[in-house]
Chain A
């Protein structure tokens, strides 16, 4: 209590009137002080909050952008698909960025431009001429002439949302079309530029209008008041709060400019809802409702957005188009009456048909399996908080063409191989990577499109069966002790190793092939011959080879490892085959290429890495056999369907009791790994060849996988060997021979070598000797 008022407390002897007067003044003084203190507090609060106004911005995740250039493997359909996905409008005349025109072999488009990690891609007008599935040439206009290369904007595939679910794309005032600002001012707050935060005239006008109409047709609150209300949306709406909001509006106007307030309003205001994602601000609303950027919208579309702050759910143009159009026309009428637009403009806009998205573009539901991999990669450098709040732009490696083609094919393909027919129990996982760079192009975590549950591509850690064999054979070829024509023994064997029961492996179907060539044993996936080879090479060498190819966990040193009793997730298998496809160069699989700030400032980049882990010559010999898998071996059945893409390399894999069906294979451009199995680990009835291979083939055919055109290393020589493998030169039969690649110093064993038997005479005597 104020000491002066206490001193002024009247003694009882004073006259009553004067006593009452003193009471009044002291109370008034108190009230004024309390009110002033309240004002100061509110003023402080609003300034603190507004100055520190830092919206929590979700991280935006982008797919790999489509590059178009002469010679690119891009068809008309693929380009127009991508343009539609990006919200480009088909139009007979190109007037704005974000429009295209397609006729016959030609597509003309005007790109929007984008701020990439490595610089700005300009907005560009370009004509693209196609020839078959490729781009023949590209040119722009008189000024630009031939255009060598255009990069489209990347498609946004996911958001990592802040906890409050708010999403926005901040925009500065100069980037907002004037029509939009005028529309908002016309309909929400026509005296915005002249009032001081609250608008008594506006309130009166609204009151009159509402009384006349008998219902609420106009609101009296200014944009500033609405902004305050939005900033403190979660607070309850009491009379005291309303007074507080009015005071805050006054305080805002006192300390900040109209432009600052308007900018904050344009970015803050709530304009729609999608599940638990709240759409804030006009820039995002344009993308949300029209799939286009704000500066591409026409007057009628801007007016529609300007009408939304009154009630984004009530006027939702996707759900209530009539209401939304009615509201849009109210906005247009106000713009006309306040002189912002001309009568003809008004007429045109009023009659424009509503063209909003049928439904909101899907967010975060599209590519959950790939996104899990992205999150794993990002977690190394970014904490969860930064991802949810800092508006990071994350450029990933996923190729939406590959991803959606794979998804579209997968479901049908799995259904086609499932036994018993379409029980729906058989599950699948697919990983597709770029054969050269190791960038992950597509991932499926289940057979269903967009499946978001248990991500089998990352988490189904299963025995890989015969997929391990290339590591066994590569270790053998690299050792220098073996060639493709080495003779292996495919006969029953029992192995006893320390601390484990005796192991007697067998071949699929329990066949016994006897003496076989090394390449043949791999091509036809013979188990007993592989065990023979692996035991000669050494389990440690095979384990070490798996590590070099990119398997990062410990490999159990048991003989059964030679037949694939090593558990791996499909994504780990993809890393191994990536190194094979890279001709012995290991490039770590990557999903994230770069990270920038919301404005495109570079933060982090994850570049191509590559390290040679196996010599080119050994790789070439191995690939001869892996191509032989398609040519003569377990993947022969796929030949017809892949005809145009051959040669390809790959390997089938089947595990005990047909629990897992695998195929891993590659062409020049892509590596693909397919796993099929049941979640309860039961018998699928499928081998690698009858299950996963068929799914792989369907997918790769649709992706038009490119043939392997591996150039033989300079030192490789081709030599003829006898068709039948024998250990004793006396039994050699060179009447029928087969040419195989060898390295000098590692030539075929004399027992099978027919190269030196060059003369007819020799062959004659040879044949004679055999009789």
Chain B
């Protein structure tokens, strides 16, 4: 008899004394890793259909991990340069691989420069700088890429760094080339 009454008594007491915050407890800390494979523009329903394997690899993937190969690593702006912030256009028509897609970047540098544009358009200067540096690592003697990085630093108000990087850009530019003149002008106007 007592053994049946006690727990009930006990827990009614417990509930009465519950006074920590009333609401539901904060769940255990968890890391949301779904972002790792998440697409940029929320096209999470797209199913990957690689062309190469004999059977399409669509079988046992976790639905929480949306796998969108290809175009999603590029900002939507890729197809409409000059219109930052525009939503992504309709999905591209399938094209026979390996042909470059119209409007798609053909080289790593181009792809990264488009990503720099996207970050700038989103006002994320430091991300833009990070992506520009990624491009510089891929093509370390490209004056244009260094110059791009310099102008981002200038926009961030980091003039000293901008000057150093712009001079480095100049050292890679062909003398008297348009980019060399732009860099000269840039260095002159730097505060």
Contacts and interface: CB of A to CB of B under 8 A. Distances in A.
B26 A51 contact: yes
B165 A608 contact: yes
Interface stretch (A12-20, A137-145, A468-476, A492-500): A137-145
B189 interface: no
A182 to B, nearest CB: 14
Interface of B is mostly: loop
Nearest to A146: B100
B99 A146 contact: yes
A289 B177 CA distance: 57
A122 interface: yes
B85 interface: no
Contacts of B13: 36, 39-40
B9 A94 contact: no
A95 B60 contact: yes
A113 B29 contact: no
Interface stretch (A371-379, A598-606, A730-738): A598-606
A512 interface: no
A156 to B, nearest CB: 14
Contact of B70 (A36, A141, A298, A605): A141
**Residue among B11, B37, B57, B64 having the largest count of chain A Cβ atoms under 10 Å:** B37
**Residue among B35, B38, B52, B104 having the largest count of chain A Cβ atoms under 10 Å:** B52
A610 B54 CA distance: 50
Contacts of A612: 164, 167-168, 171
Contact of B65 (A148, A175, A250): A175
A749 interface: no
B96 interface: yes
B57 A256 contact: no
Contacts of B149: 608
Given A48-B20, A94-B52, A144-B69, A599 B92 contact: no
**Residue among B28, B31, B49 having the largest count of chain A Cβ atoms under 10 Å:** B28
Contact of A254 (B11, B60, B133): B11
B45 interface: no
A113 B59 contact: no
Interface in B66-85: 67-73
A171 B31 CA distance: 5
Interface in A203-250: 250
A610 B28 contact: no
B90 interface: no
A478 B165 CA distance: 22
Interface in B98-120: 98-101, 104-108, 110-112, 115, 119
Contact of A585 (B73, B94, B167): B167
Contact of B64 (A110, A126, A174): A174
B97 A94 contact: no
Interface string A67-96: 101111000000000000000000001111
A437 B37 CA distance: 30
A26 to B, nearest CB: 15
B30 A263 contact: yes
A123 B37 contact: yes
A434 to B, nearest CB: 8
B183 interface: no
A267 B30 contact: yes
Interface in A535-573: none
A753 interface: no
Interface string A627-665: 000000000000000000000000000000000000000
A295 B65 contact: yes
Given A118-B134, A257-B24, A142 B97 contact: yes
Contacts of A254: 11, 14-15
**Residue among A48, A174, A607 having the largest count of chain B Cβ atoms under 10 Å:** A607
A609 interface: yes
B50 A263 contact: no
A328 B52 CA distance: 35
B141 to A, nearest CB: 8
Given A70-B107, A146-B104, A170 B31 contact: yes
A212 B51 CA distance: 56
B126 interface: yes
Nearest to A151: B134
Contacts of B101: 144-146
B36 A114 contact: yes
A417 interface: no
Given A93-B55, A437-B140, A602 B126 contact: yes
Contacts of B38: 120, 122
B161 interface: yes
Interface in A95-129: 95-97, 101, 108, 110, 112-115, 117-127
Contacts of B28: 50, 53, 170, 260, 263-264, 267-268
B40 A120 contact: yes
A605 B152 CA distance: 15
Contact of A124 (B49, B70, B119, B141): B70
A611 interface: yes
A723 to B, nearest CB: 32
B94 A143 contact: yes
Given A95-B57, A174-B34, A437-B136, A123 B69 contact: yes
A740 interface: no
Contacts of A177: 62
B32 interface: yes
Contacts of A386: none
Contacts of A161: none
A97 B66 CA distance: 11
A250 B27 CA distance: 17
Contact of B52 (A67, A119, A127, A611): A127
Given A115-B36, A122-B37, A174-B64, 20 more contacts: A35-B10, A39-B14, A40-B17, A51-B20, A72-B138, A95-B57, A120-B37, A122-B67, A125-B50, A127-B52, A143-B71, A144-B97, A145-B99, A145-B104, A148-B107, A149-B138, A170-B29, A264-B27, A610-B167, A616-B171
Interface of A: 32, 35-36, 39-40, 43-44, 47-48, 50-51, 53-55, 67, 69-72, 93-97, 101, 108, 110, 112-115, 117-127, 137, 139-149, 169-175, 177, 250-251, 254-257, 259-260, 263-264, 267-268, 283, 295, 298, 391, 434, 436-437, 582-583, 585, 594, 598-600, 602, 605, 607-612, 616, 669, 714
12 contacts: A47-B20, A108-B53, A118-B130, A120-B35, A120-B36, A122-B68, A145-B97, A145-B98, A148-B107, A149-B138, A251-B14, A298-B60
Interface of B: 6-7, 9-11, 13-15, 17-18, 20, 24-40, 48-55, 57, 59-62, 64-65, 67-73, 91-92, 94-101, 104-108, 110-112, 115, 119, 126-127, 129-131, 133-134, 136-138, 140-141, 149, 161, 164-165, 167-168, 171, 175
Top 7 nearest A-B pairs by Cβ distance? A144-B70, A139-B98, A69-B108, A264-B28, A125-B50, A149-B108, A118-B130
